[in-house]
């Protein structure tokens, strides 16, 4: 692992690191914010998964999360959204290829060789982090925006024993039923509908739910709301009687202005679960 940068931030430290990933077979970059409490012992961890076209840097610099994480004594992890570099498959479209890993393990060419973002986020990067930094593996939570909200919800429902809470900002809720989601799932996973279902938050809510609190915000002016389909997840939450707060925020769009506006509430929501 190589330290790329380190800055004092709200009494703690914001670092950026690169490492060789077993999962993707490439160099990967991530950001890690450590609150002041990390100098004295292990701290809880909040994972933040970013959306389409983003790197580790977008949320790290735009979401305003460090101020609230420092107040609550939480570490923040900002992974990248895909493998990158020479020899890594890409596409001219913004919603496929580099910057658009969709947090799945691709099985189809040309993506299968490097696009194993599920393993990267759930196995490879956690192993490195918990071996290297004072992070408490027993106190983890996860959140994300858009494609990252999709990743946060599907990972949390698949690995409920790992995460005490989950939240999302404008998540892609039902990709198997939207033209947008079907494009990526077909490209990465082929025509196997069962493989698709494992990465669909509405389907996973129907089949599994989540044994913990859930918070989801979506803006009513979100320009992608017809592709996000929040109503499908709301319906499954109601059918399952899952403990969840799902809010449509009037006037907000899909931007980081929206994310930053509600970040304090999301961090406080996770802190309550992590310190319970």
How far apart are alpha carbons 41 and 179 in whole angstroms?
Answer: 47
Distance in angstroms (rounded) separating the CA atoms of residues 95 and 78: 20
Q: Which residues are catalytic?
A: 146, 222, 254
Whole-number Cα distances in Å, 130 to 55, 119, 171, 240:
22, 16, 27, 34
Cβ neighbors of 11 (< 8 A, separation 6 or more) are 35, 36, 70
Show the tokens assigned to 260.
Answer: 């930053």
Q: How many CB atoms lie within 10 A of CB 114?
A: 23
- Cα 219 vs. chain centroid, distance in angstroms? 18
């Amino acid at each position: 692992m190589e330290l790329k940068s380190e800055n004092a931030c709200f009494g703690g430290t914001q670092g950026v690191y690169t490492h060789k990933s077993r999962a993707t077979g490439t160099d990967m970059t991530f950001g890690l914010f450590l609150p002041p409490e990390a100098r004295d012992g292990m701290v809880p961890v909040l994972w933040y998964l970013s959306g389409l076209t983003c790197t580790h840097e977008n949320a790290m610099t735009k979401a305003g999360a460090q101020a609230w994480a420092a107040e609550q004594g939480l570490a923040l992890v900002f992974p990248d959204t895909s493998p990158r570099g020479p020899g890594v498959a890409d596409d001219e479209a913004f919603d496929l290829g580099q910057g658009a890993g969709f947090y799945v393990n691709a099985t189809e060419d040309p993506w299968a060789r490097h696009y194993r973002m599920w393993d990267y986020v759930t196995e490879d990067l956690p192993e490195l982090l918990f071996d290297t930094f004072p992070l408490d593996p027993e106190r983890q939570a996860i959140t994300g925006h858009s494609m990252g909200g999709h990743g946060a919800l599907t990972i949390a429902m698949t690995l409920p024993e790992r995460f005490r809470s989950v939240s999302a900002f404008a998540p892609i809720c039902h990709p198997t039923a939207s033209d947008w989601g079907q494009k990526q799932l077909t490209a990465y996973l082929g025509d196997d509908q069962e493989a698709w279902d494992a990465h669909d938050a509405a389907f996973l809510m129907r089949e599994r739910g989540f044994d913990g609190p859930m918070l989801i915000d979506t803006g009513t002016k979100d320009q992608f709301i017809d592709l996000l389909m929040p109503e499908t997840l709301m319906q499954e939450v109601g059918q399952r009687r899952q403990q969840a707060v799902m809010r449509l925020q009037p006037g907000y769009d899909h931007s980081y202005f929206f994310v930053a506006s509600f970040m304090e509430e999301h961090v406080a929501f996770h802190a309550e679960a992590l310190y319970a």
